[in-house]
Structure 1
Amino acid sequence: MPVEDDLFEKLRVELRRGSLGLAVMGALREEQYGYSLRQKLEQAGLPIDEGALYPLLRRLESQGLLTSEWREDARRNKRFYRLSPDGERVLAELLGEWNAISESILRLTERDQ
């Protein structure tokens, strides 16, 4: 892999990692269990493997942004996650920040400057 491709891939992963927390929080405005959350993210164009998703969920929960509970569903125990009230507030603030950053980047990268 050429150096440029390697550098691009590292920067792409860094950008994606920073965006996944926001995407997960947005998806968890509706209750989901791990597998259904992975499917929802993949359908939205943000696939994530279990090795990245579950540590992210644990971190968000330890920060008080998510709640979870074990329940039986289809004769299997599943852990269901949902955004907490604090998570709802933080998500709204982060989305405002995301939109401001996105608008700034678009202005800075327009070709007609």
Structure 2
Amino acid sequence: AGLAQVRIPVLLLPAEGDWGAPRFHGQGTAYAALYAPAGAKLGLFGSATHLVAPSDLKLEHAGGAFESIGDGADYSFTRFGAAYTLRMSCDEPLKDKRCTDPQYLADTARALLLVAGEKP
């Protein structure tokens, strides 16, 4: 629901893969697509909002970064002028390479397809 109302480029995963069809919710300048691959959950969040840190704030991570989050990992990046986050939560987060290997989410980000909206 809400795909036509999203005013940023909408990226989604291709139909091939073990993630299945997403549940999608769009709201103006943001959206969420939720996938349920076996043994995990994968969320893709897109937003027109960019947080800009003041120059005196020391950031722990680069802008396009992988971060372990306890039950999984986040991978944040920008594309087409919007901010996106892939969030993987695994049933076995310490054993499942999808949640421990940064390359999995980096490859997932590269597989995303532009399905709605326009490139700026």
The answer to whether the superposition gives a TM-score over 0.5 is: no
Answer 1 or 2: higher relative contact order, Cα 8 Å, separation at least 6.
2
Normalized against structure 1, the TM-score is what?
Answer: 0.26
Indicate the structure with greater helix content: 1
**TM-score for the superposition, normalised by structure 2:** 0.25
Higher Cα Rg, which structure: 1
